Amino acid sequence: MRSSTAIVSTEMPEPSFTLRRYCAADEDAAIELWRQTWQLVYPAIDFSVRLDWWRRRWRDELVPSAIIIMAEAQERVVGFVTVDPESLEPRFKVIGCDKWSNEPGFAEETAATGVTGVCGSGIIEALAASAPYELGQTNSTFTFALYPVYLRGQANLATKRGAAAAGEFQKILDHASLVGNAAIGALARLGLGRAYALVGDTAKSKSAYQDFFALWKNADPDVPVLKQAKAEYANLQ
């Protein structure tokens, strides 16, 4: 018999960026990043004249009501994502609608044109760099394992990439032991239902919604994400 020994490196690659919570000192960098992003997408529009408007909305609407995660590389802000603190879903704005994605009436106003030109959609590419670390535990008390996966799934949903979103949410379900009782374990099932609905697989979509409802059967009925999920399920054909 012949034997062989596999040598596995225990060294992790250096991350290309770090994630951290927003602080007031980040305001100018975030505003400028917003301007640069939109200027690249729509070079014919002068977004510099809209900075005061965006700064007011940033201070008065976004910062007080959202969790903001900053991506930083070489001591420079390179991206950010805003998350609804109740539903844990990314918040975003789209061209042609003045509402945030979690505000009443957003779905109706964007129904005609669909979700296009999502502000911050580059977070999908930015979070791809977290893949080598996404199964890791930060400490023994609580964990952020698979949260980058969840955010990628939500970003793919926001940009109508149903198949990609389904793959991310399924990864969470495949590693249930790492997620434990974290909220994303149940919310991944909701995300999977939404992803299958995007690609037109109604049977799998309904099944995933039902799994989510089963896990949250004792939840308060007025929890916003649960109410929204029930409305979506009722509209599945």
What digits encode the pLDDT tens for the residues 68-111? 888 887 788 877 877 777 776 666 666 556 677 767 777 777 66
The answer to the question of residue 181 being in a domain is yes
Collapsed DSSP state (helix, strand, coil) of residue 91 = strand
Q: Per the structure, how many domains does the chain have?
A: 1
CATH code assigned at 222: 1.25.40.10
pLDDT of 215 over the 80 cut = yes
Q: What is the mean pLDDT of residues 26-30?
A: 91
Give the residue, 66 or 40, on which the prediction is more confident.
Answer: 66
Tokens of 72: 């930083």
Identify the H or E element spanning 77: strand 76-83
Strand order in the sheet with 67-73: 18-21, 67-73, 76-83, 90-91
- How does the average pLDDT of the chain come out, rounded? 77
The answer to the question of residue 48 being in a domain is no
Q: What range defines the domain where residue 155 resides?
A: 125-131+140-232
pLDDT at 61: 83
> CA-to-CA distance for 136 and 207, rounded, in angstroms?
29
Q: Which residue has the tokens 């979700």?
A: 115
pLDDT at 191: 94
Cβ atoms of 68 and 21 within 8 Å: the answer is: yes
pLDDT tens column, 37-47: 777 656 777 88
The answer to the question of residue 85 being in a domain is no
> CA-to-CA distance for 130 and 153, rounded, in angstroms?
13
What phi and psi values does residue 210 have, to the nearest 5 degrees?
-65, -40
- Burial class from Cβ neighbours inside 10 Å (0-12, 13-18, 19+) for residue 142 reads exposed
Q: What is the mean pLDDT of residues 48-70?
A: 87
The answer to the question of residue 31 being in a domain is no
pLDDT of 146 over the 90 cut = no
> CA-to-CA distance for 165 and 237, rounded, in angstroms?
20
pLDDT at 127: 59
Which parts of the chain fold into alpha helices (H)? 27-41, 51-57, 106-110, 123-128, 147-158, 162-174, 176-179, 183-198, 202-215, 224-234
Degrees to nearest 5, angle at CA 165 with 163 and 168: 115
The answer to the question of residue 99 being in a domain is no
Tokens of 117: 């030109």
